[in-house]
Amino acid sequence: MATKQDTETLLERQTLKPPPLYQVALLNDDYTPMEFVVAIIQEYFNKDRETATQIMLSVHRYGKGVCGVFSKDIACTKVEFVLTHARKAGHPLQCVMEEV
């Protein structure tokens, strides 16, 4: 027969934490054109032109601009897509993910 303490312990074990979230950010460099960065943000992060421009300016002014917050798998996929697109276009744009 289960005691009240056993039941409470079982309930504590069943409580799940939400998965960690990751922010995806672009890093500044001196070679990638601003228009290319805006296009990347619009294409891969579904931002309108004005928002994409604001993120690009954050990258330019502060060295980093956050494009969105996602689960680990989605963040990793977005980073890979951005890096692949940038390399194919011949740009050294860097994209990273950081746990929030």
What does the pLDDT look like over 41-97, one tens digit per residue?
A: 999 999 999 999 999 999 999 999 999 999 999 999 999 999 999 999 999 999 999
Question: Could you tell me the residue ranges of all domains in the chain?
Answer: 19-97
Give the pLDDT of residue 93: 98
Q: Name the residue with tokens 């943000």.
A: 41
Q: What pLDDT score does 65 carry?
A: 98
Q: Is 19-97 a CATH 1.10.260.40 domain?
A: no
Per-residue model confidence (pLDDT) at position 15? 78
The answer to whether the Cα torsion of 45, 49, 55, 56 is positive or negative is: positive
pLDDT averaged over the chain?
A: 92
pLDDT of residue 39: 98
User: Can you give the pLDDT at residue 64?
Assistant: 98
Query: CA 23, CA 20: separation in Å to the nearest integer?
Result: 10
Whether the full predicted model's pTM is greater than 0.75, yes or no, is: yes
